[in-house]
Amino acid sequence: MLKEKRFEFILNQLESEEMVSYESLAEKLDVSEDTVRRDIDHLYKIGLLSKVRGGAIQRSKNPLTFEDRNSYLKREKDVIALKAQQFIKEEMTLFMDGGTTICAIVNYLPADIHLRIITSNAMLIPILENYPNIELILLGGKYHKQTASTVGQTTCNEARSYIADLYFMGTCGVDSKFGISAVVKEDAEVKLAMLASAKKVVALANQDRLRVTESFKVCDVEQIDVLITNLATTDKSLDEFRQQPITLV
């Protein structure tokens, strides 16, 4: 069973039972207790549960309730969001652009993590209000209703004035030949500005975005460092990307 499916199972068990043990989960999932411990350690680190002796319980002190978070998990974008957590470290400066997958990543952040998030995504404002140790910098510019984000020359210039440790890039299309592309020209321009000022670039794409090309090119695939999808890394849909100098997650 894929680890993301195990995560979903563990959280569903917690919703109905309130407390789960390593032993019972190992039996139900048909895996070793060591595997269950690693899964619970990961879910604990990203704020989805609390660890107790012999197992785990619901965690009630997150900015979002357990029910809110768990309701998202079944969606493809939240598999991506869970995978993305491994790249986020304390005290990082992050670029985040528009899109609901970006919102999903933020939803799974630990409640007490210290970060600086620089974004064009206005949808992050009400979410990040609940995180006391995250500094939110919203880039100025023209508000684009279709993407709920700021765009334009001001947005791009402001993005270039920062240096980010990590850039989470939402995508509209990802193709091994034509690269990463966007539906909206102004959105592509903001992505390119963030790309130029980030030390590491992590692109996010569900399976429906693969082998898709939109009208406005952002960059070649080789210009990113990591591609996260909702698929297993062994999935045949990713074969065309294996020759690229990127990490598939």
Domain holding 50: CATH number?
A: 1.10.10.10
pLDDT score recorded for residue 60: 52
pLDDT score recorded for residue 62: 45
Q: Answer yes or no: do 84 and 177 share one domain.
A: yes
The model's pTM: 0.72
Q: Answer yes or no: do 41 and 140 share one domain.
A: no
Out of 68, 94, 110, a domain closes at 68
For the segment 162-185, the average pLDDT, to the nearest whole number, is 95
Q: Answer yes or no: do 149 and 178 share one domain.
A: yes
Instruction: Quote the CA–CA distance of 24 and 10 in Å, as a whole number.
Output: 11
CB 18 within 8 A of CB 58: yes
- Closest to 90 in 3D by CA, of 42, 43, 134, 39: 134
Residue 100 has pLDDT above 90, yes or no: no
Residue 208, token pair as written in the block: 């429906």
Q: Where are the alpha helices (DSSP H) in 73-184?
A: 76-84, 100-107, 124-128, 153-160
pLDDT band at residue 64 under the 50/70/90 scheme: very low
CA dist list (Å): 82 to 4, 19, 143, 163, 249: 8, 22, 29, 25, 11
Q: Answer yes or no: do 33 and 129 share one domain.
A: no
Q: Answer yes or no: do 79 and 196 share one domain.
A: yes
For the segment 209-238, the average pLDDT, to the nearest whole number, is 94
Counted domains in the chain: 2
Out of 48, 68, 88, a domain closes at 68
Show the domain range for 164. Answer: 75-248
What is the CA angle 83-243-196, rounded to 5?
Answer: 65
Handedness of CA 138, 142, 143, 149 (dihedral sign): negative
Q: Answer yes or no: do 219 and 243 share one domain.
A: yes
pLDDT score recorded for residue 59: 66
Q: Answer yes or no: do 86 and 194 share one domain.
A: yes
Q: Answer yes or no: do 232 and 110 share one domain.
A: yes
Q: Answer yes or no: do 17 and 93 share one domain.
A: no
